[in-house]
Structure 1
Amino acid sequence: MRRRTSGVAPRHLAGWLFADLFLVLFLVVLGMTTSDGPDEAAGAGAGAGKSPRPSPSASGTSPSPSPSRTAKGPLGLDPKRHTFAVTLSSGATGRATGRGGLSATDRRKVVAALDKEIRASGDGRRIGMVITFGVAPQAQLGAATDLAEDVNRTLKSARPQAFCGGNVGTRPFWSGGSADRVEIELYYINACEGRG
């Protein structure tokens, strides 16, 4: 009879390995496609000022980063991640299974948390990548991943102007813990040329 051992099964580590490899590949591709053109070099040498911080409009919509090329640090994806967590309503993880989705209250919570993070750390930049972890016990691994995917869809549809174009990478993953919670990692683009 085989003895059971404690720890994380190797198949669950594959998701983490994939996330790390995806991030490295994304950074390499961005580094290859971003180049210092003469206009960028001249703008940096001429003491180009920092874009003003986005502020919410009177209608209560999200802060919208400037579409201009904001140069803060090296061009491309800023490697510094900005992490925030959102506690959702009771049963949100279970409702996410299959074709389920976020409730209107939970959608408002994740969008408000995104707006708050952009105001605190965005500096006029747009989002270049989002990794969302659905937090739940291992028994709800699939539902937690579905929840993370629902959150990613909500963020992109509710705040498209905050993202650097339509091809921004979003990835859903699972993380162990108490259910009905998500952890979101944002990575900003230092020079977004996308307009939509």
Structure 2
Amino acid sequence: MRGRPPQPAAVGRTVLLAGWLFADLLLLLLVIALGSLPREQRTDATPKPGTPSSPPPSTQPAERGLVLKPCSFTVRTGGAGSVRKQFGTQLRGAGVANRTAGFVLSFGTAPDPGPGQEAADKVNSMITGGFSHFRHAPKRGYWKGGPSGKVRIDVFFLATADGDTSFPKGCHSSDDDS
């Protein structure tokens, strides 16, 4: 026995619902696309009368990029004063004492993970308290196997004020040791 053919009203309703579903999905995609734009692009693109469209190029702030290769420093663990002195000397020697850190990865050397990571975290807190250019940079502590007593600090610096993201000339990178 054959089933009844679909009623014309039921077919019309299905097509109507499919159309509304398609329209809702397009509206959702539009909202997501607009929400993902940077704040500057969300504002009205047309300038208001009497206001300049943009500042002259010489006064526009440079976008802050990140130097993609880390500058590596090694300090011996100890008191906060000793660690800060070692780190400060190395920063000045590399010519990056006034550069702002984008983020910092520290690797505490120890035979076991617990003490190594604790040493790295302790050095990170010493850096935060002693160097204003490192205060707001995210820092993470990790363990590196080996004898205790040293922490390697990999610093990813932000671009200079003029937007230069090249690797600082006075720096050494742990990436070079691979």
TM-score, normalised with respect to structure 2 = 0.52
Tell me whether 1:171 sits opposite 2:140 in the alignment: yes
String of CA shifts for 1:137-169, please: whole Å, max 9, x gaps: 1xx21111011101101110122x222x53x11
Residue 111 of structure 1: how far off its partner (Å)? 0.7
Q: Give deviations 1:58-94, integer Å, cap 9, x for gaps.
A: xxxxxxxxxxx7x6xx832211211111123xxxxxx
User: If the length of structure 1 is used for normalisation, what is the TM-score?
Assistant: 0.48
Q: Do residues 128 (structure 1) and 99 (structure 2) align?
A: no
Q: Unpaired runs of 5+ in structure 2?
A: 1-36, 41-53, 162-178
The equivalences for 1:36-185 within 5 A come to 41-42=57-58, 75-88=64-77, 103=78, 106-119=79-92, 120-122=94-96, 124-137=98-111, 140-159=112-131, 161-163=132-134, 166=136, 168-185=137-154
Q: CA deviation at 1:42?
A: 2.2
CA distance in 1, matches of 2:149, 2:98: 31
The one-letter amino acid of 2:152's match is: E
**DSSP 3-state at the match of 1:144:** helix
Amino acid at match of 1:122: V
* Runs of 4+ in structure 1 over 6 Å off: none
Change beyond 3 A, Cα 1:187–1:41: farther
How far the C-alpha of 1:128 sits from its partner, in A, is 1.5
Counting matched residue pairs gives 111
Change in 2 beyond 3 A, CA 1:147/1:43: same
Task: Tell me the equivalent position of 2:26.
Answer: none
Does the CA-based 8 Å contact 2:88-2:97 persist in structure 1? no
- 1:135 CA displacement: 0.3
* Whole-Å separation in 2 of the counterparts to 1:40 and 1:145: 48
Cα RMSD for the two superposed structures = 3.1
Query: Partners in 2 of 1:185 and 1:108 — Cα distance?
Result: 20
> Structure 1 stretches of 5 or more lacking a match?
1-31, 45-68, 89-102
User: 1:172, 1:111 → 2: CA distance?
Assistant: 17
Give 2:89's aligned amino acid: K
Q: Give the letter aligned to residue 76 of structure 1.
A: G
* Structure 1 residue identity aligned to 2:69: K
CA distance in 1, matches of 2:56, 2:120: 36
